[in-house]
Amino acid sequence: MQRHHEIEFTQFMESLFLNGSATIRWDRACMWLGADEIGNTEWQQIHAKWLEVCKTYGYADDIAPIFCYTNPNALVIVREGFADEDVIEITAEGAEETEEEA
């Protein structure tokens, strides 16, 4: 991976950590990871970077799972909340704490 792609990839994963989600175009993700398409090797690279970012920010023992939503133009990676984060469900009635937090 080229150095500037490594930096962009790390910033993308830090955005996921900070914001709970991050979006990237498929072609850009492939460029970062040096692949024609995203396969198991690339998913493993994404997961390894996620573990690295979590550990960097003090979450070595509380690593939130990540998931990918795909569409033809982009992949959207989202994470579950960390144990020390409040989760609020937004409904037609307003906002409610989830059962986990209640």
Residue 102 has pLDDT above 50, yes or no: no
Cβ within 8 Å of residue 46, ≥6 positions away: 13, 33, 66, 77
Determine the pLDDT at residue 99.
Answer: 59
Is the domain 3-97 a CATH 2.60.120 member?
A: no
d(CA 85, CA 73): 31
Residue 92 has pLDDT above 60, yes or no: yes
Q: Where are the chain's structural domains? A: 3-97
Determine the pLDDT at residue 49.
Answer: 96
d(CA 98, CA 34): 40
Q: Which amino acid is at 46?
A: I
Determine the pLDDT at residue 100.
Answer: 53
pLDDT in tens, 34-74: 999 999 999 999 999 999 999 999 998 889 999 999 889 99
H/E segment holding residue 76: strand 74-79
Determine the pLDDT at residue 101.
Answer: 45
Determine the pLDDT at residue 87.
Answer: 81
